[in-house]
């Protein structure tokens, strides 16, 4: 979720519906160039595309009794508050994942087994990924992103996010050449572990592994994994700037239930009105590349 751009959806006329719209600006139609002294200044234009996402309610609650609060040896409210805050993080991570996963740009090892080259596809992955992610794969992915003019996420850096074990072989490759963490490098994102080839790598564990193209059981909400057939790797996203948007109407907050049954029935909930959307779901302008497998 930390890689989604937050937008204020509170003043966008959402009382007329639950759609949030925002503008995406493309490059100019004709690039500027040198001019002759007597040549009039050329004119061009650029395209503004409007994207939309659905804003909806999110929430979860935990009930408890007045008796439990009075006799419990631990602070019931504090425990429930902690559990609910963890739940909202997982929920919004799943929502963000589903929008990242919309990207049409997928890469897999060439032929399924190459340890140095990848094949880019724009209409769905057709390759069974049969090797662990290696440093040469990362180099090839970065070259693709740069040549597609995907802008950097922060400064001159792209980002990547996946599971610790997805990065394990890649990290082992780099330990031998002492290149993984640059001198003077500062970690600035939650879960960030290092930088290589202009990519800052982030580990996460909320979203399960697997979910290849042919998967029917993978569920990011319930944490149901569906490992790739060979289980040698798993999904990873590489991305630049302007990836996904979160339209916040009411930010996530903890709410207490009004006591019922003369104070005997109580509860605590988290609640939010928000929505997530992919800023560039088309292949030409997509900012996200997914390390993927057919099965």
Ranges of each domain in the chain: 1-10+55-295
Reduced to 3 states (helix: H, G, I; strand: E, B; else coil), residue 65 is strand
The pTM (predicted TM-score) of the whole model is 0.86
Contacts of 101 (CB under 8 A, 6+ apart): 211, 290
* Tokens linked to 100: 């990242």
**Three-class secondary structure assignment of 175-241:** HCCCCCCCCCCCCCCCCEEEEECCEEEEECCCCCCECCCCCCCCECCCCECECCCCCCCCCEEEECC
- Relative to beta strand 106-109, strand 288-291 is parallel
Determine the Cα–Cα distance for residues 171 and 132; give it in Å rounded to an integer: 11
User: Torsion angle, CA of 214/106/188/149, rounded to 10 degrees?
Assistant: -160
- The reported pLDDT for the residue numbered 8 is 66
Find tokens 């009411």 and name the residue.
Answer: 250
pLDDT number for residue 36: 92
Positive or negative, the CA dihedral 10, 14, 15, 18 is negative
- Give all strands (DSSP E) within 55-156, no chain letters: 56-65, 106-109, 118-121
For helices 164-175 and 135-147, the axis angle rounded to 10 degrees is: 100
Token couple for 12: 């966008």
Run means of pLDDT, 10 residues per run, the chain, 295 residues: 76 63 82 91 88 90 91 85 94 96 97 96 96 96 96 93 94 69 59 87 93 95 93 95 90 93 94 93 94 97
Q: How many CB atoms lie within 10 A of CB 256?
A: 13
Instruction: Determine the pLDDT at residue 50.
Output: 81
């Amino acid at each position: 979720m930390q890689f989604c751009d937050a937008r204020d959806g509170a003043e966008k006329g959402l009382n007329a519906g639950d759609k949030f719209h925002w503008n995406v600006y493309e490059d100019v139609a004709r690039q500027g160039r040198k001019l002759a002294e007597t040549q009039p200044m050329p004119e061009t234009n650029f395209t503004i595309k409007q994207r939309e996402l659905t804003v909806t309610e999110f929430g979860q609650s935990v009930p408890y009794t007045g008796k439990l609060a009075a006799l419990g040896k631990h602070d019931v409210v504090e425990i429930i508050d902690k559990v609910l805050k963890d739940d909202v993080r997982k929920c919004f991570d799943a929502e963000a994942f589903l929008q990242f996963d919309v990207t049409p740009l997928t890469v897999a090892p060439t032929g399924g087994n190459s340890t140095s080259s990848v094949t880019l596809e724009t209409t769905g992955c057709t390759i069974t990924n049969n090797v662990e992610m290696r440093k040469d794969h990362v180099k090839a992915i970065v070259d693709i992103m740069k040549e597609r003019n995907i802008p950097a996420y922060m400064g001159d850096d792209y980002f990547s996010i996946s599971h610790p074990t997805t990065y394990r072989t890649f990290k082992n490759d780099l330990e031998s050449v002492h290149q993984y963490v640059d001198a003077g490098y500062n970690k600035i994102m939650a879960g960030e572990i290092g930088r290589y080839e202009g990519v800052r790598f982030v580990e996460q564990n909320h979203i399960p592994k697997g979910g290849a193209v042919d998967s029917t059981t993978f569920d990011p909400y319930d944490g149901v994994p569906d490992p790739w057939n060979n289980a040698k790797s798993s999904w990873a996203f590489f991305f630049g700037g302007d990836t996904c948007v979160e339209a916040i109407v009411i930010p996530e907050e903890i709410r207490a239930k009004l006591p019922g049954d003369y104070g005997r029935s109580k509860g605590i909930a988290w609640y939010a009105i928000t929505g997530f959307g992919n800023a560039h779901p088309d292949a030409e302008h997509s900012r996200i590349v997914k390390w993927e497998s057919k099965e």
